[in-house]
Amino acid sequence: MKIPFMKPPITGSEQNFFNEAWESGWHGGDGKFTKLCHEFFKQEFGIGKTLLTTSGTDALEMTSFLANSMPDKEVIFPSYTFSSTANAFVSHGATPVFIDVDRETLNLDPNLIENAITDKTIAICPIHYAGLPADMDKINAIAKKNNLLVIEDAAQAIGSKYKGRFAGSLCELGAFSFHATKSISCGEGGALTINDPTLFERAQFLWEKGTDRSLVLEGKLNKYQWVDKGSSFLPSDLIAAILYGQLQNYKELHQKRKNVFDAYTEVLKNYSHLPLNFAPIPEGYESNYHAFWILFDNIEIKEKFQQYCSDNGVVSYNHYVPLHSSKMGERVSRTASKMNVTDLAGENCIRLPMFPMNNEEIDYVRDVIDSALKNCGTKNLKTAA
């Protein structure tokens, strides 16, 4: 059997909504299904205001505008993330300041934030890695103390919860991605989330190519004009229709991923003697099960494990090259902590296949993982320092 790393989620209801949007005669942005998605985020996830975008990257770029990123300003990030997180701010001239991640969750370590803050710092941008939210209470408290904006990179975390609150509602601004690799997908797409009402109007102007067209639609003006920076961030309503179909079934999709996640967890629990740890769900957190990762202390065990999976048709994935050690990161960023966990993850973290599998697929991957760990888990292998 061959098990790919991912398959895009499909519920079966997307086609009907897409056909309705197609036959409506309106294929541009901000149509019926865009508005339905916006309302869904408000009612289901408790988000103040949402604006769909063409990608999660675009949503992050909108947060960069709203944070007033510019040269001589800095934004604090974990280095263990995708390039889009930093690119959104670098493109406006700001400097990424990277700190290490927590060993247990691979999320930004809040204990390292304060030492990274300077008089140039304007924002903190935590990542909800693998769908598990960062420790937002600690991060928000530090930001409030230092008068900084907090921006959730929730690209992987649609539907996840932190202490009873949904990702995207946990601070002033956030960004979702609905790329084909995500747990909720419309192929390419994203969303900006805004929970600070003072940013609502400007966000709308940015979304509408820097114009105040929204005020015309609200009946406050009789014509609109160019009033701010901005871009064409709106997705087609055809894309929004596909997304709306997925949103209607997001709990079912996430339950199917949970079945896979739980099967992996049950296997890994039997190998506590090996030098590794794997994706947790700490108390007070609810995940959307976007990804399942294993972090090995020992590169030899990691490579043996990955090769065994590959030989048996199971595709695993080496994850991020840390941004601080990438070619672009070396040119434009600075680090403000030791990167021990980040560097280890860059070498030794792998992700297992994660998509809504059937029972036969789950059983097969579980058995391959179990055999791989038995075959690669030689106890006399030395762990990393």
The Cα–Cα gap between 53 and 57 comes to 9
Same domain, 351 and 324: yes
pLDDT confidence bin for 173, thresholds 50/70/90: very high
pLDDT for 296 beyond 60 = yes
What is the model's pTM?
Answer: 0.94
Query: Is pLDDT above 60 for 383?
Result: no
Q: Residue 225: its pLDDT value, please?
A: 95
Domain membership flag for residue 22: yes
* Domain closes at, from 247, 270, 286: 247
Residues 130 and 231 in one domain: yes
Instruction: In whole angstroms, give the CA distance from residue 12 to residue 67.
Output: 39
Shared domain for 239 and 254, answered yes or no, is no
User: Which strand (E) or helix (H) includes residue 193?
Assistant: strand 190-194
325 and 234 both lie in a single domain: no
Asked if residue 383 belongs to a domain, the reply is: no
Q: What is the mean pLDDT of the chain?
A: 95
Give the range of the structural domain holding residue 263, as residue numbers without chain letter: 250-376
Lowest mean pLDDT among 48-52, 93-97, 178-182, 372-376: 372-376
- DSSP 8-state code for residue 78: E
Q: Are 117 and 20 within one domain?
A: yes
Closest CA to 96 of 114, 117, 113, 77: 77
Report yes or no on 160 lying in a domain: yes
pLDDT surpasses 60 at 384: no
Asked if the structure places residue 1 within a domain, the reply is no
Whether 2 maps to a domain, the answer reads no
Give one DSSP letter per residue of 272-297, joined into a string. TTSSEEE----TTEE------EEEES
202 in the same domain as 171 = yes
Place of tokens 């747990």: 183
Whole-angstrom distance, CA of residue 323 vs CA of residue 77: 10
Classify residue 381: in a domain, yes or no. no
Domain boundary among 247, 265, 283: 247
Q: Are residues 36 and 175 in the same domain?
A: yes
Beta strands (DSSP E) in the chain are 49-53, 74-78, 95-99, 121-124, 149-153, 161-162, 165-166, 173-177, 190-194, 276-278, 285-286, 293-296, 317-318, 334-335, 349-351
Per-residue confidence band for 78, with pLDDT thresholds at 50, 70 and 90: very high
Query: pLDDT digit string (tens) for 159-168?
Result: 999 999 999 9
pLDDT average, residue stretch 92-112: 97
Is residue 236 in some structural domain?
A: yes
In percent, the amount of the chain with pLDDT more than 90 equals 94
Q: Domain end: 225, 247, 269, which one?
A: 247
Q: What angle do CA 75, 80, 82 make, to 5 degrees?
A: 80
Instruction: Give residue 377's pLDDT band: very low, low, confident or very high (50, 70, 90).
Output: low
Tokens for 161, please give them: 């919860």
Q: Is the pLDDT of residue 278 over 50?
A: yes
- 382 assigned to some structural domain: no
198 lies in the same domain as 315: no
Same domain, 298 and 271: yes
Is residue 385 predicted with pLDDT exceeding 60? no
Hey, is 165 helix, strand or coil?
strand
Contacts for 240 with CB less than 8 Å, ≥ 6 apart:
21, 31, 33, 34, 36, 37, 52, 186, 189
Q: Are residues 175 and 257 in the same domain?
A: no
pLDDT tens string 218-243: 899 999 999 999 999 999 999 999 99
Q: Provide the domain count of the chain.
A: 2
Regarding whether 112 and 18 lie in a shared domain, the answer is yes
On the question of pLDDT at 284 being above 70, the answer is yes
Residues 178 and 57 in one domain: yes
Which residue, among 114, 115, 121, has the nearest Cα to 151 in the 3D structure?
Answer: 121
pLDDT at position 291: 97
CATH at residue 168? 3.40.640.10
| Cβ-contact 361, 256 below 8 angstroms | no
Q: Region 365-374: what's the mean pLDDT?
A: 95
Residue 297: give its domain's CATH number. Answer: 3.90.1150.10
pLDDT tier at 319, thresholds 50, 70, 90: confident
